[in-house]
Structure 1
């Protein structure tokens, strides 16, 4: 059976037998890959540390019937080394890789791969506040997956805004006519912040208050879990 090579970021690992692990990776060209890394739990393993969560590696795979096998792994970026020592960054990174696991399938997704690697790099270097980095990643990952939130017009009828209500089930801001009873009203500043996070406009996002950050995070959390149709287990550990 053939071998292939790709770069990938480690999403999660599971023990297998006495010394092996099953490693789930998001690769640049082959989408999500589950592969066996043999002997990596032994202290003598040459590349066990290269296959920990949040690490980015250049990997050679041997194609198998149900699971591939990792033959070689060379480190590209060791973001995990900086992230795991800081609890807020560790929990944020955990949410990121769990989300990437949910929004990607077997086909290649270079955009999702590059987005995740960029977010982990930003976390490891502390380029921006952790909570903003996480919320921006979630909104952009969902947008790439086809669930882009609408902020400047009604998500239901298309009427140009600004509007006051945000409804996760409808995909974003909605007008008065489309808003269901009890729909939460969102102040313009929070809408502006959410829009900046989607666009990656960091100066604008960081200029907002901590109170607005918290309100935006609550909306992003609800929006993400609704569209993924499942609870993100790691999200409950993120401090808001």
Structure 2
């Protein structure tokens, strides 16, 4: 019996980390396989065709090859890029915050189609809603993520000020983005 060496997935890029001279490790939250870590070889080269597709927040279609140590991206196709988010510091902060929550709360290789749909909806709202109150969106979506993942029930929901502390308690580590978001709000006057 042969195993499938290449698989197709639709995902949202949550995070990236440069490795070596030209490679990047990506954390991708896929609709089909949950959170996966993959390597994109040669993506940091100037002539890389995949580079523009594999940026944080992008909704992409991927072809991924199973590897011994880590799976690798062989093809990438842009589905949605959310350009408005990238041009507004406040929206960037909220986007990173939501992606970090998903990254720390979702275990690898566990399918969560409802969480994928919620994150995709939040990114679309961040991108298209001009009159959006960013702190309210961040609080609402983070509470929905906690509820969807089963960390809160109807009678056990943290108040808005405690959501970050509650998530940090579950993850057993401090989140990086709330501090980043506070700095952005001071700089940009949000």
Q: TM-score if structure 2 supplies the norm length?
A: 0.86
Partner Cα distance (1:95, 1:231) in 2: 12
- Check 1:88–1:3 CA distance in 2 against 1; reply closer, same or farther (3 A cut): same
Deviation at 1:226, TM superposition (A): 3.0
Question: What are the equivalent positions in structure 2 for 1:17-28 lying under 5 Å apart?
Answer: 17-28=20-31
Where does structure 2 lack aligned partners over 5 or more consecutive residues?
186-190
Out of 54, 58, 78, the position equivalent to 2:81 is 78
Q: Work out whether 1:97 is the aligned partner of 2:99.
A: yes
- Check 1:2–1:221 CA distance in 2 against 1; reply closer, same or farther (3 A cut): same
Q: Work out whether 1:132 is the aligned partner of 2:75.
A: no
Q: Could you report, residue by residue, the CA deviation over 1:13-72 in whole angstroms, capped at 9, with x for unpaired residues?
A: 111211111111000011111111111111111110110100010000001122111011
Question: What are the equivalent positions in structure 2 for 1:86-165 lying under 5 Å apart?
Answer: 86-105=88-107, 106-126=109-129, 128-150=132-154, 155=155
Structure 1 contact 57–75 (Cα < 8 Å) conserved: yes
3-state SS of paired residue (1:61): strand
Structure 1 contact 225–231 (Cα < 8 Å) conserved: yes
3-state SS of paired residue (2:136): helix
Where does structure 1 lack aligned partners over 5 or more consecutive residues?
156-170, 174-215
Q: TM-score if structure 1 supplies the norm length?
A: 0.69
Larger Cα-atom Rg: 1
User: What is aligned with 1:238?
Assistant: 181
Deviation at 1:227, TM superposition (A): 3.1
- Check 1:172–1:116 CA distance in 2 against 1; reply closer, same or farther (3 A cut): closer
Partner Cα distance (2:157, 2:57) in 1: 30
Q: Which has the higher contact order (CA 8 A, sep 6+)?
A: 2
Please identify runs of 4+ aligned residues in structure 1 that moved more than 4 A: none
3-state SS of paired residue (1:238): helix
3-state SS of paired residue (2:47): coil
Q: Could you report, residue by residue, the CA deviation over 1:200-224 in whole angstroms, capped at 9, with x for unpaired residues?
A: xxxxxxxxxxxxxxxx641333333
- Check 1:31–1:123 CA distance in 2 against 1; reply closer, same or farther (3 A cut): same
Deviation at 1:225, TM superposition (A): 2.6
CA RMSD of the aligned region, Å?
A: 1.8
